[in-house]
Amino acid sequence: MPGEKRDPPLNLLLLLPALLLIPLVGVILIALGAPPKKTSLWVSVLNLVPGFLLSGQVLRVGEVLFGPEATPAREVFPVKFLLGIDGLNLPLVWLTLVVTLAAMGVAQKGIKREREYFICLLLVGLGALGAFLSVDLFYFFSFHEVALVPTFLLIGIWGHGDRSGAAWRMTLYLMLGSLVLLLGLIGLVISVPEVARSLDWRVLSETLRTNPMGTPQQTTVAALLLVGFGTLVSLVPFHSWAPGGYASAPAPAAMLHAGVLKKFGLYGLFRLVLPMTPVATSFILAWPRFNSVISGGFLVFPVPCIWGPFFSA
């Protein structure tokens, strides 16, 4: 029918899981003995193909979704492996694909424990793609943790300088941030009526749009999410782990974390916090301006100041 919106064909829908399966196959091939650098490069180049095809589909229809019917993993919270791409996460998916390819290109060949090194790099890219593509909050959170663990290993094993201390500080900060984020996500889910609870952020957004939380509850959930995402994106004052971590990290790991993984926090703010807890919107928008004024004031001091390192990252 003219003007009727048609679902994308099945072969296009399968491109979404292909974005995750291709790097996973690369990890398996390297573990089985394939040349690490060459395999990682080819896998990263090949993953651009579904990215191109999905981009055209998103520009035509607005979004592409893939996933089976919900599987009740628990009686209250059904978990479903649902992937989606639209105008908000499409640029982040492309950022991940391009930065991953660049990181594989600059990664050192012949480094110690080369096989494990490239497996960790591929897992960081895989976790970032999974986090950006996941529609279910369970996988949204889990994929990000999948990307964080190999990041710690990359700094602790292949880093330089104070790599051990930097890896531990980064681990403690980001794990605590992830714990606060998890509490915020749980609070977001249980804030809706039990009959309407879902881990699908689309369902949650629609439910909270028609039945918003009360201001006190909304403020609590928004604060937890803001601290969690703020720590992951290293917003002041949750950023002191970043300078030492990036200074000690090998170049490909720093590229992937600073260029891709830190965007997960910003993505979460725009995808979850702003639409579902609008009371926090004004504070979130004011926070960067407040930080700029305060940190700029300390940086103009002509003498050394104990607060300088705190605000200079």
Q: Who contacts 226 (Cβ-Cβ below 8 Å, separation ≥6)?
A: 269, 273, 280, 283, 284
Distance between CA atoms of 120 and 112, rounded to whole angstroms? 13
Q: Is 65 helix (H, G, I), strand (E, B) or coil?
A: strand
Q: How confident is the model at residue 95 (pLDDT cuts 50, 70, 90)?
A: very high
Give residue 70's pLDDT. Answer: 44
Distance between CA atoms of 131 and 145, rounded to whole angstroms? 9
What are the start-end ranges of the H helices in 159-250?
A: 163-190, 201-210, 215-232, 242-248
Do you know the residue count of the chain?
Answer: 313
pLDDT tens-digit map of 249-286: 888 888 888 888 888 888 998 898 888 888 766 666 56
pLDDT tens-digit map of 214-233: 778 888 888 888 888 888 88
Better-predicted residue by pLDDT, 136 or 301: 136
List residues bridging with 156 in a β-sheet.
Answer: none
Is 103 among the domain residues?
yes
Q: How confident is the model at residue 7 (pLDDT cuts 50, 70, 90)?
A: low
Give residue 295's pLDDT. Answer: 52
Is 52 among the domain residues?
yes
Q: To the nearest whole number, what is the mean pLDDT of the chain? A: 80
Helix axes 90-106, 114-133, angle to 10 degrees: 170
The range of the structural domain enclosing residue 142 comes to 10-286+296-311
Is 219 among the domain residues?
yes
| pLDDT of 289 higher than 60 | no
Mean pLDDT on 60-66? 84
Cβ 138 vs Cβ 199: under 8 Å:
yes
Please identify which residue in the block is written with the tokens 């492996």: 81
Is 128 among the domain residues?
yes
Cβ 193 vs Cβ 226: under 8 Å:
no
Beta-carbon count within 10 A of 251 CB:
12
Highest-pLDDT range among 8-17, 43-52, 57-66, 297-306: 43-52
Is 230 among the domain residues?
yes
Q: Who contacts 146 (Cβ-Cβ below 8 Å, separation ≥6)?
A: 123, 126, 127, 130
Mean pLDDT on 223-249? 77
Mean pLDDT on 16-37? 93
Is 5 among the domain residues?
no
**Percent of the chain surpassing pLDDT 70:** 78
Cβ 133 vs Cβ 147: under 8 Å:
no
Number of structural domains found in the chain: 1
Is 36 among the domain residues?
yes
Mean pLDDT on 87-111? 90
Quick one: tokens of 257?
A: 């974390």
Give residue 308's pLDDT. Answer: 46
Torsion angle defined by CA atoms of residues 25, 31, 36 and 42, in that order, rounded to the nearest 10 degrees = -10
What does pTM read for this prediction? 0.82
DSSP state of 271: I
List residues bridging with 66 in a β-sheet.
Answer: 83
Burial of 262 (0-12, 13-18, 19+ CB in 10 A): middle
Cβ 19 vs Cβ 51: under 8 Å:
yes
Mean pLDDT on 54-67? 85
**Cis status of the peptide bond prior to 237, with omega within 30 of 0:** yes
CA distances from 260 to 91, 170, 257, 304 (A): 11, 16, 5, 33
Helix axes 163-190, 215-232, angle to 10 degrees: 160
Mean pLDDT on 89-100? 93
Is 291 among the domain residues?
no
Mean pLDDT on 70-92? 71
